[in-house]
Chains A and B, each alone.
Chain A
Amino acid sequence: MAPRDDAWREELRQALSARDRSAIARVVMPALDPAYRITCNEEVNRGLDREQAVIEATRCLDCPDPQCITGCPVSINIPGFIKNIQRGDLHSAIAVIKATSALPAVCGRVCPQEKQCESRCIYNKMKKEPVAIGYLERFAADTARNEAATDAKAAPTQREASNGIKVAVAGSGPAGLSFAGEMARRGFDVTVFEALHEIGGVLKYGIPEFRLPNSVVDAELDSLRAMGVRFVTDTIIGKTLSLDDLLADGFKGIFVASGAGLPRFMGIPGENLIGVMSSNEYLTRINLMSAGRGGMTPVASGRRVAVIGGGNTAMDSVRTARRMGAERAMIIYRRGLDEMPARAEEVRHAIEEGVEFITLATPVEYLGDERGHVTAMKIQRMTLGEPDESGRRSPVPIEGAVDTIEVDEVIGSVGVSPNPLIPSSVEGLEVTRRGTIAVNEAMQSSLPVIFAGGDIVRGGATVILAMGDGRRAAASMSD
């Protein structure tokens, strides 16, 4: 689709010299004002308009050997869709993306492009800012979605004739949805079982609306429904329905994408005080259950909130705390700002929103009042030592450097273990020492009928890696 040697692409390359194209400055994503956005839950990034998108698309040099594609876990034909944006053919642009990605509007928002596609852009070698591939992906997806909403003729994603073969998916997060989309496209009869009452997994309970609106996720779900994918909520595979039940119901293959489960705790004194919780609990209460926003589920709204960790989930939590009214919202991270695994954009947005970053510090104890509510935390100051196996310099405690900070809410965001429900309830399923489901290259488990992907296999990764797993599992299961 959209081959590089098509005449129109050759024309675009000839129309403006590489020198002129590379002279164009990278587009700046329009965003809500920080003072306003912490008063609400509205999406911070507003998206490019058509003119901005075409100019940004013009920057792309349409390289003969595009490295950006190799940086994409689902191998989107990036120059192919960008050049279609440049020539104004948005239908083709989105078709190119959808050929390999089931959730373009989601990925355009939450993928760490700076570590993937954009990190391989030729512009980096030229000491220039890479093409804003993520912004353009989002633009293509949003435009297509808005047009589909107003234009009944908008073509649904192409799918092959039904082959009548039933396959089941456990979990409706990014891995499950990506798998479902791929299999439906190949003509399979797909049913997705979700344990919670909402479809979308981490896209709904985890990622806040200010980064990924639910309406965007719902639109992606609708396009999967239009392809014939069925969704069943409140159904826990391994509990409500066993593997044998599914086989007896005629399912020929099962993709387990049950995601991350148990939050990790640090094992320090005071961790069970009231007001100390995991980011999974905090975000689920607010995002899934609308706690503090009209839902019946309660949530603590601290004035001084400390979030432990430096990943995207930590940023989502601390930025949510600001929006829930925290006067002081702090990130406590054991390494430095440069070592933080969170997306650069999330860190920048958090800083703009008044989040304090207390780096090179780790909690060693939580203190509480007589009712068991957390009131303060002791933090150990750290310094950076030798690089560890991840290549990052490891934090080392500075002897005697312990400070006390007053807090009334602490949100731990220090990782998760795989969800234990399916590994513990399906007999004969091989599980790794870390509790993840063991799979081969083809994403197939020790039970040939079961494939698995996403966090249940990786232990904790990104939306796009989960989607890549779903796609790979679909390719091998359908063979």
Chain B
Amino acid sequence: MNKIVEKEYFSERVVKLVVEAPLIARSRRPGHFVIVRCGDNGERIPLTIADADIKAGTITLVVQAVGASTEAICALRPGDCLTDVAGPLGRATDVSRCGTVVCCGGGVGVAPLLPIIKAMKASGNRVISVLAARNKDLIILEDQVREASDEVIIMTDDGSSGRKGLVTDGVEEVLRREHVDKVVTIGPAIMMKFVSLLTKRYDVPTICSLNTIMVDGTGMCGGCRVTVGGKMRFVCVDGPEFDAHQVDFDEMMMRMKAYN
């Protein structure tokens, strides 16, 4: 049982939870995820860790209510407990110094992107962050991203914040303007697919973080398999980050609809 010590609504369906998990707080690195379960009959849900506080013994999770299980998690209040939190899982992000890094995130993808932005900056990279959402209200963690980035570009579908356009428009603007050494993209699969297609044209190495269907999350069920460079890979143990240019996003998107 892991107690929720803090809760904040980023939007109607997106919630930030600060959860007691001292061991995970100590051992997690940017890019890691946890498996969370709410209720004795609950599903095991993979969630990327957005932040951690070793002293307080907490981790931060950002959850979007998209189904019964995530709705149940979002409905929890401070003082309530998650039934299980297991992790940290997956491989950590390579945040070594490489020069200029564009970190682009869409929707709740900005939450797992934030620790990567911070770590990229801390290792001496120039970090340009591109945040995108449908409208102003759905842009999350903007202040924290600004604090950790050299430059921030906001893109909204309706132009209610930043500029009107898609995340790819913001990324392409940077690619046109200057040399970029690496792109990191986290968000909906369709967004990552188009970012990947774009950066391939510019020949910029690109990392994506995948959040597929999983059951155990520990390398046992094979439900999270994706095709990367023509080979079968498992998101939970080989990922969650992969070379975006090698990922078969169409197959991944198809598989994510298995239970819709």
Contacts and interface: CB of A to CB of B under 8 A. Distances in A.
A344 interface: no
Contacts of A421: 218-219, 237
Please indicate which of the listed interface residues B72, B219, B259 has the most CB atoms of chain A within 10 Å of its own CB: B219
A420 B217 CA distance: 12
Contact of A281 (B84, B85, B89, B222): B222
Interface string A212-242: 0000000000000000000001111001111
A34 interface: no
Nearest to A417: B219
B86 interface: yes
A145 B232 CA distance: 46
B86 A236 contact: yes
Given A236-B89, A289-B215, A296-B41, A274 B84 contact: no
B87 A371 contact: no
B181 interface: no
A239 B254 contact: no
Contacts of B258: 274-275, 300
Contacts of A267: 232
B23 A272 contact: no
Interface in A273-288: 274-275, 277-278, 280-281, 284-285, 288
Interface residues of A, number: 44
Contacts of B23: 235, 240-241
Is the contact region of chain A dominated by helix, strand, or loop, or is it mixed?
loop
Interface string A290-301: 100011111010
B233 to A, nearest CB: 10
A419 B219 contact: yes
Contact of A372 (B68, B86, B234, B257): B257
B31 interface: no
Is the contact region of chain B dominated by helix, strand, or loop, or is it mixed?
mixed
B20 to A, nearest CB: 13
A323 B227 CA distance: 32
A263 interface: yes
Contacts of B87: 236, 239-240
Contact of B222 (A240, A277, A420): A277
B116 to A, nearest CB: 19
Given A197-B37, A235-B23, A296-B42, A280 B221 contact: yes
A296 B83 contact: no
A95 to B, nearest CB: 36
A460 to B, nearest CB: 13
A268 B99 CA distance: 41
B216 interface: yes
Contacts of A419: 218-220
A195 B43 contact: no
A196 interface: yes
A374 B43 CA distance: 24
Contact of B218 (A195, A289, A298): A195
Given A241-B23, A421-B219, A421-B237, A297 B86 contact: no
Chain B interface category by residue count: 35 or more
B220 A262 contact: yes
B223 A281 contact: yes
Nearest to B72: A296
Contacts of A265: 222, 225, 232
Contact of A261 (B219, B225, B255): B219
A456 to B, nearest CB: 12
Given A196-B218, A272-B225, A272-B251, A239 B43 contact: no
B234 to A, nearest CB: 6
Contact of B89 (A239, A280, A288): A239
A289 B222 CA distance: 16
B7 interface: no
Contacts of B84: 197, 233-234
B221 A263 contact: yes
Contacts of B225: 265, 272
A297 to B, nearest CB: 5
Contacts of A296: 39, 41-43, 68-69, 72
Nearest to B89: A239
A114 B132 CA distance: 63
Interface in B115-137: none
Contact of B41 (A195, A236, A239, A295): A295
B69 A274 contact: no
A421 B237 CA distance: 7
A265 B251 CA distance: 17
Interface of A: 195-197, 205, 233-236, 239-242, 245, 260-263, 265, 267, 271-272, 274-275, 277-278, 280-281, 284-285, 288-290, 294-298, 300, 371-372, 419-421, 424
Given A197-B83, A298-B259, 9 more contacts: A197-B37, A197-B86, A241-B27, A245-B27, A274-B254, A278-B221, A284-B215, A300-B259, A372-B251
27 contacts: A196-B218, A197-B44, A197-B86, A205-B220, A233-B84, A233-B86, A234-B85, A235-B23, A235-B86, A236-B86, A239-B27, A240-B27, A241-B27, A242-B27, A260-B220, A262-B234, A274-B257, A280-B221, A281-B221, A281-B223, A289-B43, A290-B41, A295-B41, A296-B41, A296-B69, A296-B72, A372-B255
